[in-house]
Amino acid sequence: MKKSLVALALTAAFGGAAAQSSVTIYGTIDAGIQRTTHAPNDATQVTRRDNNKLGFRGVEDLGNGLKALFQLEIRYDPDTGQLENNVRPLFQGQSRVGLQGAFGTVRIGRGLTAYQETSTAFEPWSGLPNVAGYQTDIHVAGYTSDPLSVAGNSLNRFSNAVFYNTPVWNGFQVNVTVATKEANNGPAIIGKGTATAPQYTANSMASANPWSVSATYTNGPFAAMLAAERNGIETELWAVAASFKPIPDLKLMASYQRQDQSHTQFINTDTNGWVLGLNYTMGPNKFIAGYGQKDPDGVVKTKQASVGYEYSLSPRTYLYLDLAVKKMPFTVTAANTDTRKHYALGVHHNF
């Protein structure tokens, strides 16, 4: 019996793919009980400390040292089962495909910018986007990588981008991300305009190509980063960071970053931020501590101190406890400060 066209199509659809790749399914589920006083919901919450992921990735060896890579990463809120913030893309974490070889790694799609991906190594909570950590505010000096996408979307990714990582030369590596100017359903941004004539209308294209660069240097117990980035409304950020391990179980880290919003603001255009932190590991115990400040021109400083503790049940599973105090303006223009306390207790599981 010969197979006709549709029969072949059905074989392709249902039969075994001849060259089935090994797709790796991976993920994180982190849920716990938290309370942040003075937050919009000043109540005990079941929520997350880390990003929650369900991802699919693969590597294909193309020969001659060349590899094809892809990664698709769902992000979700485990307390409600929704996609992050209930508005983010299915593959909020990343959706990228590319090639890796002697020339480095080139990928296309959506993902963390070069700066944002690199900088998490110098933040005491490893960039976890929670209240005890510094990543989403002080560690980036209040900067957002993606002001022209829908409200609630990620603050540290580029869509429509090309990502390049050089190989590592004597501990030195450069990472570059460049995005197109494509419109992405963002809100209007008044900026230097007026409510009726905003500097960026709703669903604007970027006024210049967003880009991000980071350079890292690693030498034994020492590592350092220098980075700069410009987003779609031409806000600029630069950052310098370093870490040092006096003993293998202790990591000390420090970072300084400055945001320049002079493209969209007439006054108070600069914001500085700095963070000090440490991680100390003792058997299954990990201790985390951090202190940081964000200092916007002419506005009250934000100050935060926090400690964390993790107890590993296995290399994939740990329990955690976080405590933090954050002093911040009531609003960004207020002269008074608001003190928020944060408690978190939960379980973190990688799969």
Site string for a second copy, 173-202 (x = CB under 8 A): x-x---xxxxxx------------------
247 is a site residue for a second copy (CB under 8 A): no
Question: Where does the chain show beta strands of DSSP type E?
Answer: 24-36, 45-47, 53-63, 66-77, 82-83, 94-101, 104-112, 157-165, 172-179, 211-219, 222-230, 236-247, 250-260, 270-282, 285-296, 302-314, 317-329, 337-350
Site for a second copy in 210-229 (CB under 8 A): 214, 216-219, 223, 225
334 is a site residue for a second copy (CB under 8 A): no
Binding piece for a second copy, criterion CB under 8 A, among 22-30, 134-142, 267-275, 320-328: 22-30
Q: How far is the CB of 249 from a second copy (least distance, A)?
A: 18
The tokens for 234 are 């031409």
Quickly list DSSP for 297-342: TTSPPEEEEEEEEEEEEETTEEEEEEEEEEEEESSTT-SSEEEEEE
Binding piece for a second copy, criterion CB under 8 A, among 31-39, 134-142, 270-278, 302-310: 31-39
Q: How far is the CB of 39 from a second copy (least distance, A)?
A: 11
Number of residues that bind a second copy (CB under 8 A): 114
The tokens for 345 are 């207790």
Binding piece for a second copy, criterion CB under 8 A, among 36-44, 137-145, 250-258, 324-332: 36-44
Site for a second copy in 45-74 (CB under 8 A): 45-47, 54, 56-60, 62-63, 66, 68-72, 74
238 is a site residue for a second copy (CB under 8 A): no
Of the residues 151, 170, 248, 335, which one makes contact with a second copy according to CB under 8 A: 170
Q: Which is nearer to a second copy, 140 or 179 (CB)?
A: 179
Question: Among 46, 50, 33, which Cα is nearest to 349's?
Answer: 50
203 is a site residue for a second copy (CB under 8 A): no
44 is a site residue for a second copy (CB under 8 A): yes
Q: Which is nearer to a second copy, 78 or 187 (CB)?
A: 78
The tokens for 135 are 């990543």
Q: How far is the CB of 165 from a second copy (least distance, A)?
A: 6
| Distance in angstroms (rounded) separating the CA atoms of residues 22 and 58 | 6
Torsion sign, CA atoms 272, 128, 314, 305: positive
Q: How far is the CB of 150 from a second copy (least distance, A)?
A: 9
Q: Give first-to-last CA distance, the chain, whole Å.
A: 46
Q: How far is the CB of 267 from a second copy (least distance, A)?
A: 32
Q: Based on C-alpha coordinates, what's the Rg of the chain? A: 22
Of the residues 36, 51, 118, 271, which one makes contact with a second copy according to CB under 8 A: 118
Site for a second copy in 89-108 (CB under 8 A): 89-100, 105, 108
Q: What is the DSSP-derived secondary structure letter of residue 200?
A: B
Binding piece for a second copy, criterion CB under 8 A, among 10-18, 190-198, 257-265, 283-291: 10-18
Given a contact cutoff of 8 angstroms between Cβ atoms, the answer to whether 118 and 145 are in contact is: no
Binding piece for a second copy, criterion CB under 8 A, among 17-25, 281-289, 290-298, 332-340: 17-25
Given a contact cutoff of 8 angstroms between Cβ atoms, the answer to whether 135 and 345 are in contact is: no
Buried b (16+ CB within 10 A) or exposed e, 231-244: bbbbbbbbbbbbbe
266 is a site residue for a second copy (CB under 8 A): no
300 is a site residue for a second copy (CB under 8 A): no
39 is a site residue for a second copy (CB under 8 A): no
| Distance in angstroms (rounded) separating the CA atoms of residues 61 and 50 | 32
145 is a site residue for a second copy (CB under 8 A): no
| Distance in angstroms (rounded) separating the CA atoms of residues 320 and 287 | 10
